[in-house]
Amino acid sequence: MKIAIAGSAGRMGRTLVEAVLKDGEMRLAAALEQADSPFLGKDAGELAGSPCGVAIRADAEQALAGADCLIDFTRPAGTLAHLAACRRLGVAMVIGTTGLEAEQKRQIEAAAREIPVVFAPNMAVGVNLVFKLLDTAARVLSQGYDIEVIEAHHRHKVDAPSGTALRMGEVVAAALGRDLSSCAVYGREGVTGERDAATIGFATVRGGDIVGDHTVLFAGTGERIEITHKAASRMPYALGALRAARFLRGRASGLFDMQDVLGLR
């Protein structure tokens, strides 16, 4: 399977390139970066620790012409530009980009009517298992427990809360029959009054090189239940993305997430 990587010179991009080069069934077909990137023309594999002869390019249309699937963990604007190119060329797409707004998500939905897309805020297999566990926990602990989502990431992350934290909140809210947009509390300061039992709280930490820690706390009377996932490297996200790419092989169109990929529906 021929894979293209967007943002190939970034932290996540380099990990994706490394994962593809180590995979016996996949081949790196193209490596993309922004037009002003200082890494244009450099060997994408060399940046990831293993030269492969694939030069980093900025022209998505040309690069994607020989690819089966593009994996994109970049920024919303870049992802949508790549989505348009994939749509024109009939290339499948795995999207791990976070921070997209409602209208941008609708554009992904529209494109998925013509090409196959896996779109998920977190590609790690363990995180997606946690989503399933959270659904069960929220249903069992629906009465008498306050729910808080705590997440921590490196200093370079630009969106908050993380897409994974928001998805955790969505899973819990859905299990409880609530709408996250109306019950979420994003931070507290000053005299806030007593906690509203119907809310789901979010706390965000940014610092150092933390790859990604997520905890959902169910706090009851006399006990606390915590469901936690901690990533020690970006490789779990990359391996999950490759699994998603394999899932799309042979599909003509459709919008999927990692729950579909892992058979957790």
Helix (H, G, I), strand (E, B) or coil at 219: strand
Containing H/E element for 203? strand 200-206
Mean pLDDT of the region 240-253: 98
Q: 235-248 and 125-140 are packed helices; what angle lies between their axes, rounded to 10 degrees?
A: 90
Tens-place pLDDT, residues 149-207: 999 999 999 999 999 999 999 999 999 999 999 999 998 999 999 999 999 999 999 99
Answer whether residue 84 shows pLDDT above 90: yes
**How far is CA 156 from its chain centroid?**
16
Domains of the chain from N-terminus onward: 2-123+234-261 (3.40.50.720), 125-231 (3.30.360.10)
pLDDT of residue 145: 98
Answer whether residue 88 shows pLDDT above 90: yes
Rounded Cα distance between 196 and 11, Å, is 39
Tens-place pLDDT, residues 13-56: 999 999 999 999 999 999 999 999 999 999 999 999 999 999 99
Q: Report the mean per-residue pLDDT for the chain.
A: 96
Q: Is the dihedral of CA 20, 21, 23, 26 positive or negative?
A: positive
Tens-place pLDDT, residues 193-235: 999 999 999 999 999 999 999 999 999 999 999 999 999 999 9
226 closest CA partner among 168, 154, 163: 168
**Whole-number percent of the chain with pLDDT over 90:** 97
pLDDT of residue 51: 93
Residue 60: pLDDT band with limits 50, 70, 90:
very high
3 closest CA partner among 46, 63, 51: 63
107 closest CA partner among 141, 140, 79, 135: 79
User: What tokens were used for 262?
Assistant: 């892992």
With contact defined as beta carbons under 8 Å apart, do 2 and 92 qualify? no
Rounded Cα distance between 204 and 162, Å, is 8
DSSP 68: S
Answer whether residue 265 shows pLDDT above 90: no
Contacts by 196-200, CB closer than 8 A, 24 or more apart: 197/146, 200/147, 200/148, 200/149, 200/169, 200/172, 200/173
With contact defined as beta carbons under 8 Å apart, do 40 and 263 qualify? no
Answer whether residue 121 shows pLDDT above 90: no
Rounded Cα distance between 145 and 207, Å, is 29
202 closest CA partner among 168, 176, 178, 225: 168
pTM: 0.86
Would you please indicate which residues are annotated as catalytic (active-site) residues? Answer: 153, 157
